[in-house]
Amino acid sequence: MSALEIKNLKKTYRNKLDALKGINLNVQQGDFFALLGPNGAGKSTTIGIICGLVNKTSGSIKVFGHDLDTATNAAKACIGIVPQEINFSQFETCLGIVLNQGGYYGIKRSIAMERAEKYLGKLGLWERRNEYSRNLSGGMKRRLMIARALIHEPKMLILDEPTAGVDVELRRSMWDFLIDINQQGITIVLTTHYLEEAESLCKNIAIIDKGDIIEDTSMKNLLSKLNKETFVFDLVDPIESLPELNGYQGRLKDPSTIEVEIERKNNINDLFNIFSKHGINVCSMRNKSNRLEELFLDLLNNNKTH
């Protein structure tokens, strides 16, 4: 049974914008999963639908086997959510916010109190429990939302851009906290537009762009893909078959076009030597554009402006 199974999920907002164009996702129990994508890709929309804040247009979602449409409350009980935007009352204390959330999940006050102490403590907020939430710094507000999301000890924690706008030091300690709770068996799904964040934390990753999942794989696999580049060589004279290229992965697309995958660390001169040895003359070369690459450039640009 998957922790999260999303099938053909579509969302069209009232302004006719197709925010999600039929996405599929599968997150295994115990996974640390990243949903990576630039701003406006549809990450928050996806999260909003999973936790019942956004009405979907079509598709289905199962959380630990509970269908969100037919076993809504059972599904919801499995999820803890840390939203992208601050959404607690400014007129409540930290402790009050966490205890009330426990109440909404049907947790007895005495148990909620123990857990509040545990999680507010771990997140460095216990000393400030009686302060009004509006007096907390941005980073503390975000940690308060994490404590709030854990009060019912959910099987899966979903965080929507948890480290956006959080300083580097705090980001590290938040990562350590998340790694720790993941090791205790809680499935974690986080959205981010920092590749670095996904890379340091996640086992599996899906990349979303303009409402489509364009990659869904292990982190390892993705990184190795990103370290390869495909070059296209146009030949002066057509050839019939491609000779052995000394370990380079090549394909003859048509008699006068060769595509070769080259790892970033390799020296491209070697390849030309091999071509020369086989009497292959190249008249032009370019790199093949790759959607993943483009998306990453996009993400990098996004990072620069944040």
Partner 1 sequence: MYTQSLFIPFSTIVIKEVSRFTRIWVQTILPPAISMTLYFVIFGSLIGPRIGTMNGFDYIDYIAPGIIMMSVINNAYANVVSSFFGAKFQRHIEEMLVAPIPVFVILAGYITGGIVRGFLVGTVVTIVALFFTDLHLYSFPITIAVVLMTSIVFSLGGLINAIFAKKFDDISIIPTFVLTPLIYLGGVFYSIDMLPEFWQKVSVFNPILYMVNAFRYGMLGESDISITHAFIMLIIFTITLLIVCLQLLNKGIGIKT
List of residues contacting partner 1 (CB under 8 A): 13-14, 48, 51-55, 66, 71-74, 76-77, 79, 81, 83, 85-91, 97, 100-101, 103-108, 148
CA of 304: how far to CAs of 56, 94, 200, 209, 268, in Å?
Answer: 32, 33, 19, 18, 30
Nearer to Mg ion, 41 or 150 (CB): 41
Q: Does 301 bind ligand ADP (CB under 6 A)?
A: no
Nearer to partner 1, 96 or 124 (CB): 96
C-alpha 1 chain-centroid distance: 21
| Least distance between partner 1 and beta carbon 108 (Å) | 7
Q: Which helix (H) or strand (E) holds 216?
A: strand 212-218
Q: Does 267 bind ligand ADP (CB under 6 A)?
A: no
Nearer to ligand ADP, 13 or 237 (CB): 13
Residue 83 interface partner, choices Mg ion, partner 1, ligand ADP, none, CB cut-off 5-8 Å depending on type: partner 1
Q: Does 182 bind Mg ion (CB under 5 A)?
A: no
Phi, psi angles (nearest 5°) of residue 166: -105, 140
Distance in angstroms (rounded) separating the CA atoms of residues 185 and 227: 31
Joined together, the tokens standing for residue 109 give: 């006050």
List residues bridging with 206 in a β-sheet.
35, 216
- Per-position x/- string for 67-106, each x denoting binding to Mg ion as judged by CB under 5 A, each - no binding: -----------------x----------------------
Other Cβ atoms within 10 Å of 263 Cβ, number: 11
Q: Yes or no: say if 5 and 26 are a contact pair by the CB < 8 Å rule.
A: yes
Residue 37 interface partner, choices ligand ADP, Mg ion, partner 1, none, CB cut-off 5-8 Å depending on type: ligand ADP
| Least distance between partner 1 and beta carbon 88 (Å) | 5
- Among 32, 33, 34, 42, indicate the residue that binds ligand ADP (CB under 6 A): 42
Q: Does 236 bind ligand ADP (CB under 6 A)?
A: no
Nearer to Mg ion, 26 or 84 (CB): 84
By CB under 6 A, how many residues form the interface with ligand ADP? Answer: 12
Distance in angstroms (rounded) separating the CA atoms of residues 62 and 3: 8
DSSP letter (8 states) at residue 242: P
Joined together, the tokens standing for residue 153 give: 């000890």
- Among 22, 30, 40, 124, indicate the residue that binds ligand ADP (CB under 6 A): 40
Closest CA to 233 of 255, 265, 214: 255
Residue with tokens 């290229």: 245
Helices (H), the chain: 43-50, 72-77, 94-104, 109-122, 138-150, 168-183, 195-201, 219-226, 268-277, 291-304
Q: Does 44 bind Mg ion (CB under 5 A)?
A: yes
- Per-position x/- string for 4-33, each x denoting binding to ligand ADP as judged by CB under 6 A, each - no binding: ---------x-x-x-x--------------
Q: Yes or no: say if 23 and 207 are a contact pair by the CB < 8 Å rule.
A: no
- Among 3, 33, 45, 79, indicate the residue that binds ligand ADP (CB under 6 A): 45
Q: Which residues bind Mg ion (CB under 5 A)?
A: 43-44, 84
The residues of the shown chain that bind ligand ADP, judged by CB under 6 A, are: 13, 15, 17, 19, 37, 39-45
